[in-house]
Structure 1
Amino acid sequence: MGNSDWTDRIVGARMKVDQEFSEQVQASEFSSQEWGMIMTAVELEIENPETPEEARVVANTESVPQVMPALDDVRDQMGAMGGAPGGSSGGSGGGGIIDSILGVFGMGGDGGGDAKRIEAAETLAQEYAERLQSHLESQGQWETACNAAARASE
């Protein structure tokens, strides 16, 4: 909760990094809309903010599995809009809420695929965190962000 203070201070940096990072997103398996949903579930945190030389931005991705069912919905809708064969009723079997709940725990229909997508999302989120940190360092904003994060965690 308190960690958002430091992210509020770097909104401009985030916007710049978002623009630069769109190339990585395009090269990934996620659409920009899906990436946006993933990032709503990611919390950026600074570890060891008291010591800027050792501190680093990390992506807390604990909540990412919870947005995967919503990502599937987006894919289904895009498929339906694109007139993909079978529309949204395609291979998902339409198990509804039970499948969604099982999916959160990595069980159910295509658990293997979901686990791979969660891992891909987590990896991409960490790459984003590292890019954000190097941007802050290059702009001379790193210590300010670390100080704000250290104060927030007191």
Structure 2
Amino acid sequence: MTDEDARRERVDDVEVAGLTADDLALINWDQDERPAQIRAIVARIGPGWRQKVFIGQGWWPLLVRLDQRLARLDPDYDIVQVKEKFGGLRFYAAPSNGAARSPAFNAAIRDAEIEASRTCETCGQPGRLHSRKGWVVTLCAEHAAAVGAKPVG
């Protein structure tokens, strides 16, 4: 089996979960340089913070959707940090010009964090919390088994 056949097989498996073609392109990204959508999100990270998102590719599509939703509310909003912690998405951002965060701004972030809590960080399939050697991660059953992680709770 060629690399392209293996990639296509992964894509076919993921398509069953109802992900869009754009979602699949992000999840299966295999280039050294990050895709344009992720680079645009990283560009929002302010000075003094690491210019990187610390999450797996399975969460990239929901991160892009969150960015689009926040940009509709405030085109110039700022990001402080994007990371995984205790198996959940942590997204720290602020409206531009020091404005207070609106209920809609907070809801967008909360919705993405909830979606991430049910999404495999590796492949974007439905997932749940798992533990491996003290680390808590959100994975599907297949990726949890691959790293020897056990369901939490």
TM range (shorter): 0.3 to 0.5
The answer to which structure, 1 or 2, has the higher relative contact order (CA under 8 A, 6+ apart) is 1
Q: TM-score, normalised by structure 2?
A: 0.36
Q: TM-score, normalised by structure 1?
A: 0.36
More helix by share: 1
Higher strand share: 2
